[in-house]
Structure formats: C-alpha cells, structure tokens
Amino acid sequence: MRIGVFADVHANLEALEAVLGILRQQGVTHFACCGDIVGYGPDPGRCCDIICQLRCPVVAGNHDYGVLGRTRVADFNPDAAAALRWTREQLTEDRLLLLDGLPLTTVRKPLLLVHGSPSAPEQWEYIFTVREAEEEMRHFSEDICIVGHTHYPFAVAKPAGQPAQLIRAQSFQLAPGVKYLVNAGSVGQPRDGDPRACGLVLDTTNRTITFFRVPYDVARVQRKIIAAGLPESLAARLAVGR
C-alpha cells in the first residue's frame, strides 16, 4: 500500500491539486493529512472539501483551531491573525464543524500523526533539530511519527540504544527496530527555500519513505491572495518558499 502524507496545505488549492495529482499518478490509494488545512491562503473552503472527500485521517493544526478560536488569535503573528479572521468569514458552518472535529493526534498503524509535537500536541511546539526530535521520540510507541507545523521537511531515525540521526536522502528504507520522526513539509507554504509543494509517500510493502516536490501555479495563487485583500506578504513568500 502506498500512502500519500501531506501537511500545511494552508488553503492553497493549486498546490493541493498538484500534490494530489502527482500522488495519484504514483499509484497512491490512501492519504493522511497532518493539519493546517486553512490559514494564510485564499481557498480555505475548497481545500476543506477536497480533504474531506479523501476520507483519510486528518489531525488539527494550530490554524485549523485558530479559526475556531480554540487557539487564541493573539498567539499568531499579525499577518496570520488577519488571515484567520478572513478565513473564518469564508467558511460555512459545515466546514467549521469539520475543523472542530479534527483530533490532535491519530494513529493508523504504523503511523502516529500529529501537527506539532507528540509530547504536547495541544501546545503547538516546533521540532527543528535532531536533538528535539530525539527527545520527542520518547513520547510515542509507534514505529513512525509524521508531523508538520515547521514547513520544513526532514526525517530522523533512531535505532534502539543508539543516538538519533538525520536522514539526508530523499528516499530511504525503513529498518526494523528503528523509530522514525518525519516532517512531511508543507503543501501550500514551504519555508525551506524551495517554493514547490512538498509531501511524502510511505510504501508499506517496500517499507520506504520518499519525499517529493511538485511545482504549481504560484502566480495564480498570489493573484487570489491579493484579490481577497489578504496581506501581500503572504503572496510574496510563496515565490521564494520562505
């Protein structure tokens, strides 16, 4: 089975469609989403509907709960907060209920899905370093935890009794007795300097994880952001992936 895992769509419809297109081309039949469907981008409703139609496991991100007031809007930077207020006005009651029903974590063996950190999913902490990843690995028992939130793809492996190590390969084999903490990167607002949409494929038969990048029509999304009256900085950053 091939599972397409993605995170941080952030209401970027063009990026989401590009990701789902490439995943289906690659024979992916199952999906999982690590949160932040909405926030920042101009198409929150359509992105909610498409992800709902996938009927896949989805966990909540801080922006998904922020729209609902379940995470304080004051905790977001001014541009993010402005986008959250705008997003709230765009979403129908059905879509707000969908976001409200998202759990903080979900398990689909061999995966644990969480947006921020397995140790404290409700605190939206960021995992940036191998050391932070290693500490987080003490807080889950599944073989693989996939997170989002930082918008930086990475993978860290920890063989039993050995220190955790960063995996630098784009594709890697899952070894028995090794625990993995993986960030799926961001579909709709990458911040690692590569503006292409990001995600990964878990192949449970071959026991591999493979990251991918896919280009999409950034200029079209930028025009929509400006036309919606969202902060212009949210459009500009898409072109550079920062």
Which residues of this protein are in contact with Fe ion, per CB under 5 A? 8, 36
Least Å distance, CB 149 to Fe ion, is 6
Least Å distance, CB 169 to Fe ion, is 25
Cβ proximity to Fe ion: between 34 and 157 the closer is 34
* Distance separating alpha carbons of residues 206 and 94, to the nearest angstrom: 39
* Distance separating alpha carbons of residues 42 and 224, to the nearest angstrom: 6
Compute CA 29 distance to the chain's CA centroid, rounded to the nearest angstrom. 18
Picking from 73, 33, 80, the residue whose alpha carbon sits closest to that of residue 55 is 33
Least Å distance, CB 188 to Fe ion, is 8
Q: Determine the residue with CB nearest Fe ion.
A: 36
Element spanning 202, H or E: strand 197-203
- Ramachandran quadrant class, 207 (left: phi over 0; alpha: psi -120 to 50; beta: rest): left
Cβ proximity to Fe ion: between 8 and 17 the closer is 8
Cβ proximity to Fe ion: between 77 and 141 the closer is 77
Least Å distance, CB 207 to Fe ion, is 29
Cβ proximity to Fe ion: between 8 and 14 the closer is 8
Show the tokens assigned to 199.
Answer: 């995600």
- CB of 147 within 8 A of CB of 182? yes
* Distance separating alpha carbons of residues 143 and 197, to the nearest angstrom: 26
Cβ proximity to Fe ion: between 8 and 203 the closer is 8
Cβ proximity to Fe ion: between 14 and 64 the closer is 64
Picking from 199, 206, 215, 210, the residue whose alpha carbon sits closest to that of residue 170 is 210
Least Å distance, CB 113 to Fe ion, is 14
Least Å distance, CB 160 to Fe ion, is 32
DSSP E strand stretches across 115-196 = 144-147, 154-159, 165-166, 171-173, 178-183
